Structure 1
Amino acid sequence: MPETHNPNNLLPKRPIKVQMEDLLPISIFHLISVLSVLKFRTKHGFLYASSTVTASKLPLPVFGECKVNINNDILFPANKYYDYGDERYAYDSTGDVSWDDKVDSMIWRGVTSGGTNTPETWKNMHRQRLVLLTNGTVMKDTNVNIMAMDPNNTGTYKPYDHFQPSEFATKYTDVGFTEPASCVPNCDFYNDVWTYKSSVSLTNQFKIRVFGIKSTIFREWHDSRLFAWRHFVPLDNRYDDLYSILTYFIGLGDANSKGNDGKPYVQRHDFEARKLGRQGAEWANKVLRKEDIEVSVCIRSFHIP
């Protein structure tokens, strides 16, 4: 995997395809292409019930913090990448803990944004779907797909389509909504955020020392600098592979029987999770610095007529 800027991350002609052992390959271009996977047009708030789209018939430059692949907006870094004065967005490494002291769990908190919420539409919003998918009560008696190890062929994986994630979700995920105006003034639950090994991001989050799981349909200014499976784990926008990802890194089942008891078994990959988290944080601190943001803004200013 390259270690430098790679514009092909954004091109349909030469998408970077990656795979992890026998898991299905994911194209980074197709991960964020709204035309490539029509099935998630009803699974994302922006596509299903957008509240922010503004159209113009005039030929004028449009600047934005993010865009979908069919738009031609001129991207610039979001202000929160640069403004570290807001302690809600600042990363202080002194508050972080060593990997061995972190818990095997994935955390996410956010508001119910991303689309127009109505009694008819809210269950199709991407954030709401994530909360429902990781709710142990909601997922009771529900089957999902994972990639389990094949007991008859050591070291290989095969689809297992009747994994019931209720107990796993309760034990290994901590996902929920905050108040509409974020968690202000009570953000106490974030005091322990550094104790989690994984964080799912529906936008972006790279500088913290966790292995990040990233799902988005939007492109940002830094996409050509970040590489899936080296700096983060890509998550399909339908979330069909969420439990495959979590069970792969956390592990599942009895290591002694290794699936021979008829129950799914997935070998634990904690070393790989630690490595992904370290590489992502190190790389972000090299290419997402304030200096990089300033240069990016300067370059984009030349697009102004």
Structure 2
Amino acid sequence: MHSDIRTIPIEQFTEDVGIDPVWSDKPYDKVLWRGSNTGILFSEAMPWNISQRARLIKLTNEKEGVRSVLRPLEPERAIGKPVEERSKELNERMMDIAFAGSPIQCEEPVCTEMKSIFEYRGHMGWSDANKYKYIMDIDGNGWSARFKRLMTTNSMILKTTIFPEWYMDRVMPWVHYVPVKVDLTDLYDILTFFRGDAQGRGGHDELAGKIGLAGKVWSKTFYRREDMVAYLFRLFLEYSRVMNPNRDNMAFHLDD
């Protein structure tokens, strides 16, 4: 997983994102995520309830209890102590997150149990998803293959991952996208910062739009097919030199 040599997966690579409104025309300011319940085998022998996607669905659809959230304040003021807000109200205001379709990658009786404890909704097309200002990107069975497509939209992308990828040295968190901790403990603080409190006060909608646009520019400038070709070509050149006892024999010389 944490290999020193990172190649490029081309699964789901696309430059077509469907109909994508500009930031100010996107009608929904909740965080969107739809996907399958991948990431683990959902069986009695596995700790599926603590898998990444399962935790995301449970957290963002919670209707009981409270959560501590940092309030958005003026830039010159200290953040201060968090305030407690009801989970139900937070999730209804901020989240549109659910599994899509029906349970997969599961064994009975867990398949039946999943239907009762997780939120399952219909699949959503790209153009409908692009109506949301905020879109979540999260690991499944492996890295997320959606990142290229999501970053090519005008939406602001929130990404949580444990996988280092080939482009990590080329993309800047908080400039091109917003990173979220793997345990998701900062998700509500992040959304409150950008969207404001329950009355919409203290938000930073314009900044979120700038991050979304910066991510799109980055994707169209540094995540092109030619960027992937150049990266892989150099990777193979370096690898061949490392593996050859006489490294100079494997040096690349461009013909005149």
What is the distance in 2 between the residues matched to 1:290 and 1:154?
Answer: 44
- Displacement of 1:104: 0.9
TM-superposed deviation, 1:214: 0.9
Task: Say which SS state the counterpart of residue 11 (structure 2) adopts.
Answer: helix
1:287 corresponds in structure 2 to 222
1:226 aligned to which of 162, 165, 171: 171
What code does the residue aligned with 1:292 have?
A: D
What is the alpha-carbon distance in structure 1 between the residues aligned to residue 73 and residue 231 of structure 2?
Answer: 47
- 1:147 aligned onto 2:70: yes
Match of 1:217 in 2: 162
1:200 pairs, out of 136, 139, 148, with 136
TM-score (normalised: structure 1): 0.63
Structure having the higher helix fraction is 2
Aligned: 1:112 with 2:34? no
Identity over aligned residues, as a percent? 25
* 3-state DSSP of counterpart to 1:109: strand
Judging changes above 3 Å, is the alpha-carbon distance between structure 1 residues 254 and 177 closer, same or farther for their aligned structure 2 residues? closer
Q: What is aligned with 1:128?
A: 54
* Distance in 2 separating the partners of 1:200 and 1:107: 6
1:78-104: CA deviation from partner (whole Å, max 9, x where unpaired): 11364x3xxxx8424xx1112122111
Q: CA shift at 1:165, angstroms?
A: 2.8
Partner of 1:98: 22
Residues 293, 154 of structure 1: alpha-carbon distance in 2 compared, 3 angstrom cutoff:
closer
Q: Given the two structures, how large is their TM-score scaled by the length of structure 2?
A: 0.74
Checking the alignment, whether the CA contact within 8 Å between 1:149 and 1:155 is kept in structure 2 is no
CA shift for structure 1 position 166:
1.4
Structure 2, unpaired ranges of 5+: 106-121, 139-143, 244-256
Post-superposition offset of 1:296: 1.2
Equivalent residue, structure 1, for 2:87: 165
Kept after mapping to 1: 8 A contact 2:72/2:203: no
Distance (whole Å) between structure 1 residues aligned to residue 39 and residue 56 of structure 2: 13
Asked if the contact 2:176/2:215 (under 8 Å) is kept, the reply is yes
Paired position in structure 1 for 2:191: 246
- Answer yes or no: is 1:270 the counterpart of 2:205: yes
Query: What letter matches 2:52 in structure 1?
Result: H
The unaligned stretches of length 5 or more in structure 1 are 1-66, 256-265
